[in-house]
Structure 1
Amino acid sequence: MKLLGKKSFLSLTLAGMMALTACGGGDQDTAVKDKGGAASAGPKKVVFWHAMGGSNTKVVDQMVADFNASQDKIQVEAVFQGTYDDLLSKLKASMGTKDGPSLVQMYEIGSRFMIDSKTITPMQKFIDEDKFDLTQLEPNITGYYSLNGKLNSMPFNTSNPILYYNKDLFKAAGLDPEKPPQTYEELQKAADAITKTGKATGANFAIYGWFMEQFFANQGADYVNNGNGRNALATESLVNSDAGVKTLTWWKNLVDTKAANNLGRKTDDSKKAFSAGQVGMILESTASLKGLVDNAAGKFEVGTGFLPKPADAKEGGVVVGGASLWIMNDRPDDEQKATWEFIKFLTSPKEQAYWHINTGYFPITKKAYDEQSVKDNLKKFPQFQTAIDQLHQTKLNSATQGAVMGVFPEARQIVEGAIEEVLNNKKSPKDALDAAAKDITSKIQQYNKTVKQ
């Protein structure tokens, strides 16, 4: 596949990659300072740009400090760059200069862009050279970041969505608090029962495109053509297929019957309503589990269940969300190798256990679950077993590997707009999704012109 000139490609794709996402955050920049040409006299410097805001910044900083203290040949500098979108903008501005990072964290929906930009060294190169055993990592996590049998980036912060429910409201509605709904139909009945108690609204789902993507995967349905963009570049959105129409029709019916309410796009609003006992069920990332359980302490017991799907759905599962780590190819070979050493450190069971316990993201390394700290954490937060089981029961196929397209952030925004139109009674599910598919398809084809000649 031939590319246009790097500057041309970047300018053509910049607009399509600016979108809001669920993770990352913060609004202050940290400048990367060039310490001059003394690097050769001391340890090899590795600059790591990331978007882990809030308390997660401290976790990243601690892992970096631990690595730096573990040896004296490499010195990693972690630089928080704001939200994922902020980071992406700064990365693009740095391309072609000497001011860029050695290693960058990129959200999962930026994967196609990173590959097409030709600015990265595939992780597979270092894996092969080092004979690194990939089987030690979770296959359903590495599967997302693999294309044509090649792992392009190393998974870092990984999550998927689960159903959270208020066990006290389930009891009050005469529902079994140990049996969360597994299907669309069961969720409708449970939500109806909770709403009828007058104590709370049955459910709320934030208008978040990630959820629609997950509902597709859970029905074994591809989101874009060409094997979800994995057999060849995607050329067409499939968001208006039966899986989408069925899901949005169900979602609208929940709202129309008062079994669910519509609080808009902000997942924080959905979480606040749940924590206040105002809604009985929500969909949220596994990374939110600790916060939701802590917020409910002393008020009600939080239950967790798998993401629901239609009773007649094909076999499916969930797609991992979050972000991964990419090595930039404009850095010297020895710097790239030093970066790989840091990445191997991050994937160790001990570091993955620390990461999981302190952030709520999945460990990507299987043996992390053998660490006593992880076992103790699971006893404290048994709800997380649901997330582990859901990940492990997902069978890897094109649907559950997740869609790959260069305009994914834009596509997510378009789908959210379609959901809003339906829930606000402006369009039918089919009409809204038809329009969304047409718009996304057009943008995919425009993007593809920048990477194909």
Structure 2
Amino acid sequence: MSAPRRTLALAATLSAGALVLTACGGGGGAGSDGSVDLTMYYPVAVGGPLTDVVDDLIASCTEENEGISVEAVYSGTYADTMTKAQTASRSNQGPDLAVLLTTDLYTLMDGELIVPLSTLDDDLSWTEDRFYPAYLASGQAEDELWSLPFQRSTIVQYHNKDVFEEAGLDPEAPPTTWDELEEQAATIQDSGAAEYGLEIPSTQFGNWMFQAMAIQSGVEDTAGVDGIVDYLDAPGSVEALEWWRSMTESGIMPSGTTEWASTPEDFLQGRTGIMWHTTGNLTNVRSNADFDFGVSILPANTQPGSPTGGGNLYVFDRGDEETRAAAYTIARCLTEPERAAEWSMRSGYVATGPEAWETDTMVDYAEEFPQAAVARDQLEVAVGETTSHENGRVSQMINDTIAAVLTGQAEPEPALTQLQSDIDGVLAPYQGR
């Protein structure tokens, strides 16, 4: 069932490059004095004190857009934020705006919780200049744009240069293939330079890491088509999970599952010489590492590649026209080039488009800290993150299967065959819609 198309009066006009409210009032979040009060939910999935950064960005946007106030509510992890947004929306308690995973798109559409941005702006051509195509595409479905890229990422490879030197490896030559990764990780462990050569987290976002390995093994259409996922039992997917488990069995990675949240801390403490993690942890690592470190694109099996990741800004279908227009105003403000650059530098997420990278501050930052440009450059070989109907359920099913294989409770091929069959059953009501 497609989300209904609503005809909303546009209560905003473009002026001097910014969207400014032309009328405020009525029900929802609009006050009798013409002001609009918004609630925005947002998660934090990386290290560092990002709530202060969000508060600063919101303050600058509300100062620029007089008459709009925003209560920015830190709502936990992405999963927590999605659950809270769904629950609150059922009782019409908000939010008006939220940062949620791009992979939540179909779930939000199916629940009729969000509005397509064409109902708020009759000319969205500006987005094509502001955002990289790979990031913009993740907000599109059914010929509509539903969200604006905000805290976006890819998976990147971090390596501890001091550990590399101690192990006798070239600190300026991180692994570029799976074979090199295994060899270097084994060398690190055998030398005693670190307890583990490599850590790839398998909890919380294990499905994201698995998609990266499947892409690198040549699997196509891992992003899904029209919210349907069908790559999980492909030969390249089986190869990817077999490879992942082989590294836990050989001891170059911790046995069993590896926690998403603890992996960066293990890297910072020198417990592992190499890690795969979101570029959103870049500022955390830079701020807290007491060693030189490098950042590189993920290694290739048959090809290089990474899924995109992170969250977009969604306008929720609540309140009156002015409330929704105000939420769109704030979303657009938060993605302006200077703010996208600031958010990238202070968080580690990838600045979401070329205009942000061309700002003076971002040019200087990338020159001083070239590691920041790695995720941007990897977009050339990146594909969209796996996005499906029933996203929370599907993601959990994938993560449970990964955990079962890595802990020795299941074998890769039959487990993935069963997983695809089970997901086919979950998504059957959405087929051919």
Scaled by the length of structure 2, the TM-score of the pair is 0.85
Contact 1:274–1:282 (8 Å) recurs in 2: yes
Out of 423, 432, 445, the position equivalent to 2:415 is 432
Distance 1:127 1:222 in 2: 34
Contact 2:318–2:324 (8 Å) recurs in 1: no
Distance 1:199 1:131 in 2: 52
1:34-61 deviation digits (Å, cap 9, x = unpaired): x999713132233222224872222111
Distance 1:176 1:223 in 2: 36
1:29-428 matches, within 5 Å, as 39-52=31-44, 55-129=49-123, 132-200=126-194, 201-207=196-202, 208-222=206-220, 228-230=223-225, 232-234=226-228, 237-262=230-255, 264-297=257-290, 300-310=291-301, 312-313=302-303, 317-391=305-379, 393-394=380-381, 400-428=383-411
Distance 1:87 1:423 in 2: 28
SS in 1 for 2:313: strand
Distance 1:263 1:292 in 2: 25
1:350-381 deviation digits (Å, cap 9, x = unpaired): 11111111111112232222223223333443
Distance 2:360 2:354 in 1: 13
Distance 2:381 2:138 in 1: 12
Cα distance change of structure 1 residues 242 and 372 upon mapping to structure 2, 3 Å threshold: same
- 1:113, distance to aligned residue in structure 2 (A): 0.5
Distance 1:284 1:308 in 2: 13
- 1:96, distance to aligned residue in structure 2 (A): 4.9
Distance 1:210 1:383 in 2: 21
Paired residue type of 1:203 = L
Cα distance change of structure 1 residues 251 and 349 upon mapping to structure 2, 3 Å threshold: same
SS in 2 for 1:42: coil
Contact 1:206–1:262 (8 Å) recurs in 2: no
SS in 2 for 1:281: strand
Distance 2:370 2:243 in 1: 30
Cα distance change of structure 1 residues 95 and 276 upon mapping to structure 2, 3 Å threshold: closer
| Alignment RMSD | 2.8
Distance 1:91 1:268 in 2: 23
Cα distance change of structure 1 residues 294 and 133 upon mapping to structure 2, 3 Å threshold: closer
Contact 2:164–2:273 (8 Å) recurs in 1: yes
5+ residue gaps, structure 1, are: 5-34
Aligned residues, how many? 406
Paired residue type of 1:429 = P
Paired residue type of 1:60 = V
- 1:107, distance to aligned residue in structure 2 (A): 1.6
SS in 1 for 2:275: strand
- 1:130, distance to aligned residue in structure 2 (A): 6.1
1:102-160 deviation digits (Å, cap 9, x = unpaired): 21222222111011122321124434346534222111111112224432111111111
- 1:309, distance to aligned residue in structure 2 (A): 2.5
Distance 1:93 1:142 in 2: 27
- 1:212, distance to aligned residue in structure 2 (A): 0.6
Distance 1:229 1:107 in 2: 15
Contact 1:61–1:78 (8 Å) recurs in 2: yes
Distance 1:256 1:370 in 2: 46
Distance 2:116 2:378 in 1: 29
Contact 1:223–1:239 (8 Å) recurs in 2: no
Paired residue type of 2:410 = K
Report the structure, 1 or 2, having the larger helix content: 1
> Where has structure 1 moved over 4 Å in runs of 4 or more?
35-38
Distance 1:37 1:171 in 2: 58
Cα distance change of structure 1 residues 98 and 376 upon mapping to structure 2, 3 Å threshold: same
Contact 1:180–1:305 (8 Å) recurs in 2: yes
SS in 2 for 1:427: coil
- 1:263, distance to aligned residue in structure 2 (A): 6.2
Paired residue type of 1:215 = M
Contact 2:157–2:298 (8 Å) recurs in 1: yes
SS in 2 for 1:267: coil
Between the aligned residues of both structures, percent identity stands at 26
